[in-house]
Structure 1
Amino acid sequence: MNFPAILLLRRADPNTPLAAHLAAGLLALLLLLAPPARGQVSLDPGAPAAFQPDRILVKPAAGADLSGLHASLGTTVLREFPGIGGLQVVQVPAGAGVPALIAAYQLSALVQYAEPDFIVHALDTTPNDFRYWDGSLWGLHNTGIYGGTPGADIRAPQGWDVQNSAANIIVAVTDTGAWLSHEDLAANLWTNPGESGKDALGLDKSTNGIDDDHDGYIDDVHGINAILGTGLPLDDYGHGSHVSGTIGGVGNNSVGITGVAWRVQLMECKFIDAQGNGSISNAITCLDYARQKGAKIVNASWGGYNFNSSALYDAINSLRSAGILFVAACGNDNNDNDARPLYPASFNLDNIIAVAATNRTDAKAWFSNYGAHTVHLGAPGEDIFSCWNGSDSAYQYDNGTSMAAPHVAGACALIWAHNPGATYQQVRNSILSSTDPLPTLASHTVTGGRLDLYKALMVSIPSGTTTGTPSPAPSPVPSPVPVPVPL
C-alpha cells in the first residue's frame, strides 16, 4: 500500500548563472544576513507518502452522529470543523494501525470518507526600498542585470501607478509562520481585532493570556501556530517569511525589499515545522481559521503527488463558498501536472490559481512544473530575494514555484483593493486574461503567459458587484481506498 508524499514547493537551483550566485553571495556576506545553507528538498513524483501514525481524517455522512462509532473503535475526536461539513480529526488508539482503522470507518454508512493525515514538507509608483533599486527584485522590475532580460518582469512600477496598497485586504499565508518583528513585515501583519485593545480589566488583550475572542487560541494577534495550537506563528524555517515578503513586504520604507503590495494585511498561519514537515489536518486548521477571520486570499506554496485528499478539497471548497481565492504553487520537478497531478494546485475548483515559475529571461524556470490544462500562468520564481528568519533584517535569495505563487497572491490583493466590489471569479479572471504571452509557456500553461500586474489592474470590472453564491463545485476524483495491512 502506497500513500503519496507532499512537499513544500521550494528548492535551490544549481543552474543559476554564476554572476547571480556571486552577487547574491557577496551581498549576503556584506550584510551578514544569510543563515547556513540547508539541504535541498527532493520530491519524487512516484514516491510513497508519509502520514501521521496517530490521527486520521473522518467526514460524517450528512446528519450522522459518529459518537457510537468512535466509542466502538476506541477513538476520540481531537478537532472538528463545522464549516467543512463536520470534518473531524480523529485520534488513533495505541496499538491500532492507520490503514485498518480507515477501513473500519469506511465500512460504516455513517461516514462519507476516512483518509490518512498526510505529511507535507516545505517547498520552499516606485518605492525607495534599497533592494528594489539595486536590482535584486528583478521579478518586479527587471533592468537586465545578472544576465536578465530587461522587461522580463510583472511590470510592477506601471501597476503601482494604478494601485500600490491593499491595506484593507487580508492574505492568509499558510506556511511556516513569519519572523514577526522583521523590519519589512511587522507593519503589514494582520491584527486580530478580537485580540487587540483593552479587556474588561484594562489589560492589553494581545498579551493578557486569555482567549478573548473565544476562537480556541490565546493571544492570536497575527495568526496561529496550528502545530502547537497557539497564537504565536513564529517562523523557524525561513520559507514563510520569504513568501510573506514577496506578497507584502512593506514598500517605500527605505529599507530592504518591497512586496508586490506595499501595504496589505498578512495573516500568518503556521502548519509547517522547523524540519519542513506539516500535516493535512493542520493545513485545514489554517484554512478554516483564514475563512473565519475574513481572509480574501490564501497563499499555498506547498503540495504533492499521488494523493487526492477529499478533506483538503472540502476545505478549499469551503473557501470558495466564502468567496476566497486560493493561490497555489504547482511544483518544482519539471513535471507535467496534466499527466501526474500535484495537489492542491490540481484540484478542479474555480477559486484556485495554479502558478508556474519563470526566470530572469522570461523562460519557464528549468525546475518548474507545467500543465497545459492544469497550471494557469507563470510568475517570477527563480533567484527571488525576500525576507528571511533569523533577525529583524534578514534577507535571502530563494527559488521555486513557492516564490512564484506569492507574486500572484500580491497581485490579487491589489486588484481586489482597486475593485472592492469584485467577486473572486472577477479577480481571478483579471489575472488570467491579462498575462504577457511567453513562448516557453505557450503549450505549458492555460494562459500561455506570465503575470502582468499593470494589465491585470487595467481589466475593467463592473462597479457595484457583490460576491454571490458560487455554482456547486465539481466532485473530486476519489482517492484509492487504502488496503488494510497486518498490524
Structure 2
Amino acid sequence: MFVGLAAASPTFQPPLFDLEHRVIIKPRPGLSNKAVQATGVQVQDLRSKPPAAAGTLASGVDPLLLRHLEPGASMEQTLLELNSSDDVEWAVEDHIILPARVPNDPLYQKQWAMQRVGAEAAWDFSVGGLLPPAGKVRQPPPAAPPPPSSSASRNSSKIVVCIIDSGVDYQHPQLASTMAAGWGWNALDPSQPPMDVLGHGTHVAGVIAAATNDRGQVAGLTWGPAAGSAVSLLACKFMTDQGFGYTSGAVACFDYCLASGADVISASWSAGTAPNLLLEEAVGKAEAAGVLVVVAAGNQGFNLAEIATYPAAYGLNHPLVLTVGASGVQDEWVEYASWDAVAVHISAPGTTILSTWPGGFVEYSSGTSMAVPFVSGAAALLLAASGRRMSALQVKQVLLETAEQLETHQGRCSSGVGGAL
C-alpha cells in the first residue's frame, strides 16, 4: 500500500516564504478505490472528470494522484518510500514553476553587482514581497480540463496560440477582440475565468497579438484584429496571482490547449533543474499532435549543457520544442539569459519590452519570458501565411534558417553563428 510520510527536514526550503510541497503518484494499474482508501493517504485524482473526492479513483481512467506533504516531511524520503511500494508505478515531485522574468527597472542592466551575486537565480525561488512572507501558501490541485473552446479548433480559420501562464486580462482594450471565445480556462479554479492579476500572461499576450493600427497604446506582432488578424489567443491560467504554479497545473493546461486545437503553445516559465517526468510527457503529447511548443531559455545565465533547466532543455531531444534566449537593445546576448549552442535555438528581444498590462495599462518587462512571445507570434504568422500547409517542424526550420546571424550570439544559440529573430 501507499507508505506513510517520514518526518524530517524539508529538502527544499525557499527563503522568505514556504510554498507547499506536493507529490504526484501514479498507482499501479488495477489498484482499486478500496485499496487507495485503505492507505489513509488523502489524495486527489488529477485525471477524473469531474474531479474525484480525495482518496478515490475515478473508474475507466488512468489516474494520477496528488499528495500534499505534511510540514516537516522529507521530499527525498517520501519519494523513496513511494517508489519502493508495490502499489506505486512511479511518484515524482510536483515541481514549483515560476515565470522567467527580470526587473523592469530601466537601469537594471547597469547593476552589474546584482548579476554578479546571482540575483536572477535567487529570484527564481523568492521575490520577497511578491509572495506572502510567512505561512503556508496553498494552491488547489488543477481540476479536469473543461470541454475545448468551441472557437479554438484546427477546423477554425484562425491560428490559435495557447498561452500557459498567469491568465490574460481578456477585457484589456487591446486584447479583448484578439481572444478566442470563452477566453480559455482557469486550471486553479474552473468556476472562474482565466483573468490575469499578476500581469505576466497579459504582457506575453500583448507581444503576440495586441490589436494593432487601432490608435491603441502598443502593437502586437500578429497585427491584431483591426485588420482581420488570422491569429487568436487562448489563455490557460495555472500560476497564482502571487506568481507561482506547479507542474500538475502546467500539465493540465497542456491537455486543455491540445484538446482545444492549439497550433502553438507559448510557455514563458521555468520548472527548475530537476528532471520532470510529467512535464516532458506533456511536451511529448504536444509533439505527437504536431504542435510547436515555444519555451524560455531561463534567466539564470546557465550554460544549459552544464546545468539543464526545464522545459528549456527539452529542445535537445524534442524536435517541436523551440527554446528562446534573449537579446538586448544593441543586439547583445543579455547576461541573464541561459545559453547553449545546441539547446537554445534562437533569440528575440527580451529587455525593456513594452506591452499590455492588466487594467487596460501598458508596462515594461524584461526576461526570456518576454522573448518567447515574439517567437510564438512569428510562428503563428508563418502558419497563417501558409494556410496551415506548413508543419510545426517546417515553421521551426524557417525561423532558424532565416534568423539574422549575429556575432554577439556565437556559441549562445544553435541557429547558425547565432540567431536573432
TM-score, normalising length from structure 1? 0.64
CA contact (8 A) 2:10 2:72 kept: no
CA contact (8 A) 2:10 2:73 kept: no
Decide whether aligned partners of structure 1 residues 294 and 434 sit closer, same or farther in structure 2, where only a CA change above 3 A counts: same
Q: Find the aligned partners of 1:328 and 1:113 in 2 and give their Cα distance.
A: 26
Q: Find the aligned partners of 1:5 and 1:388 in 2 and give their Cα distance.
A: 31
2:338 to 354, 357, 369: 369
Matched, 1:233 2:206: no
1:432 to 377, 400, 403: 400
Decide whether aligned partners of structure 1 residues 435 and 86 sit closer, same or farther in structure 2, where only a CA change above 3 A counts: farther
Aligned to 2:349: 380
Cα offsets for 1:161-214 (capped at 9, x unmatched): xxxxx96111111111111111111110011xxxxxxxxxxxxxxxxxxxxxxx
**Alpha-carbon shift at residue 96 of structure 1 (Å):** 9.2
1:312 to 279, 294, 306: 279
Partner SS for 2:20: strand
CA contact (8 A) 1:3 1:306 kept: no
Aligned to 2:162: 172
CA contact (8 A) 1:222 1:231 kept: no
CA contact (8 A) 2:20 2:69 kept: no
Aligned to 1:119: 96
Amino acid across the alignment from 2:351: E
Aligned to 2:142: none
CA contact (8 A) 1:74 1:93 kept: no
Q: Find the aligned partners of 1:167 and 1:421 in 2 and give their Cα distance.
A: 12
Aligned to 1:458: none
CA contact (8 A) 1:75 1:90 kept: no
Q: Find the aligned partners of 1:94 and 1:381 in 2 and give their Cα distance.
A: 39
CA contact (8 A) 2:301 2:338 kept: yes
Decide whether aligned partners of structure 1 residues 428 and 418 sit closer, same or farther in structure 2, where only a CA change above 3 A counts: same
More moved, 85-94 vs 424-433: 85-94
Aligned to 2:120: none
CA contact (8 A) 1:119 1:278 kept: yes
Q: How does 1:238-387 map to 2 (within 5 A)?
A: 238-262=199-223, 263=229, 264-347=231-314, 348-387=317-356
Decide whether aligned partners of structure 1 residues 401 and 259 sit closer, same or farther in structure 2, where only a CA change above 3 A counts: same
CA contact (8 A) 2:346 2:419 kept: yes
Decide whether aligned partners of structure 1 residues 5 and 428 sit closer, same or farther in structure 2, where only a CA change above 3 A counts: farther
Q: Find the aligned partners of 1:95 and 1:364 in 2 and give their Cα distance.
A: 42
**Alpha-carbon shift at residue 280 of structure 1 (Å):** 1.0
Decide whether aligned partners of structure 1 residues 280 and 52 sit closer, same or farther in structure 2, where only a CA change above 3 A counts: farther
Q: How does 1:16-415 map to 2 (within 5 A)?
A: 52-53=20-21, 55-60=22-27, 63-65=29-31, 67=33, 69-81=35-47, 86=62, 88-92=64-68, 97=73, 99=75, 100-124=77-101, 168-191=158-181, 221-262=182-223, 263=229, 264-347=231-314, 348-389=317-358, 391-392=359-360, 394-415=361-382
Q: Find the aligned partners of 1:434 and 1:356 in 2 and give their Cα distance.
A: 16
Higher relative contact order (CA 8 A, sep 6+): 1
**Alpha-carbon shift at residue 331 of structure 1 (Å):** 1.0
Q: Find the aligned partners of 1:363 and 1:176 in 2 and give their Cα distance.
A: 29
Cα offsets for 1:246-302 (capped at 9, x unmatched): 011112222111211123211111111122111111111111111111111111110
**Alpha-carbon shift at residue 3 of structure 1 (Å):** 5.8
Aligned to 2:389: 421
Q: Find the aligned partners of 1:308 and 1:120 in 2 and give their Cα distance.
A: 13
Amino acid across the alignment from 1:433: E
Q: Find the aligned partners of 1:93 and 1:325 in 2 and give their Cα distance.
A: 35
Q: Find the aligned partners of 2:270 and 2:33 in 1 and give their Cα distance.
A: 33
**Alpha-carbon shift at residue 317 of structure 1 (Å):** 0.9
Partner SS for 2:398: helix
Identity, in percent, stands at 28
Decide whether aligned partners of structure 1 residues 81 and 432 sit closer, same or farther in structure 2, where only a CA change above 3 A counts: farther
Q: Find the aligned partners of 2:345 and 2:266 in 1 and give their Cα distance.
A: 15
Amino acid across the alignment from 1:282: G
Cα offsets for 1:136-155 (capped at 9, x unmatched): xxxxxxxxxxxxxxxxxxxx
Decide whether aligned partners of structure 1 residues 57 and 408 sit closer, same or farther in structure 2, where only a CA change above 3 A counts: same
Partner SS for 1:70: helix
Decide whether aligned partners of structure 1 residues 446 and 69 sit closer, same or farther in structure 2, where only a CA change above 3 A counts: farther
Decide whether aligned partners of structure 1 residues 184 and 350 sit closer, same or farther in structure 2, where only a CA change above 3 A counts: same
Alignment size in residue pairs: 336
Cα offsets for 1:370-428 (capped at 9, x unmatched): 11121111111111110011x22x00111100000110000110111122122221111
Decide whether aligned partners of structure 1 residues 322 and 65 sit closer, same or farther in structure 2, where only a CA change above 3 A counts: farther
Amino acid across the alignment from 2:196: D
Q: Find the aligned partners of 1:346 and 1:94 in 2 and give their Cα distance.
A: 31
Give unmatched runs, 5+ long, in structure 1. Answer: 7-46, 125-165, 192-220, 453-487
CA contact (8 A) 1:52 1:118 kept: no
Cα offsets for 1:34-72 (capped at 9, x unmatched): xxxxxxxxxxxxx9x97633x4212345x4436455234
CA contact (8 A) 2:24 2:67 kept: no
Q: Find the aligned partners of 1:181 and 1:287 in 2 and give their Cα distance.
A: 24
Amino acid across the alignment from 1:334: G
Partner SS for 1:234: coil
**Alpha-carbon shift at residue 101 of structure 1 (Å):** 4.2
Give unmatched runs, 5+ long, in structure 2. Answer: 1-8, 50-60, 102-155, 224-228
Q: Find the aligned partners of 2:39 and 2:72 in 1 and give their Cα distance.
A: 10
Amino acid across the alignment from 2:349: P
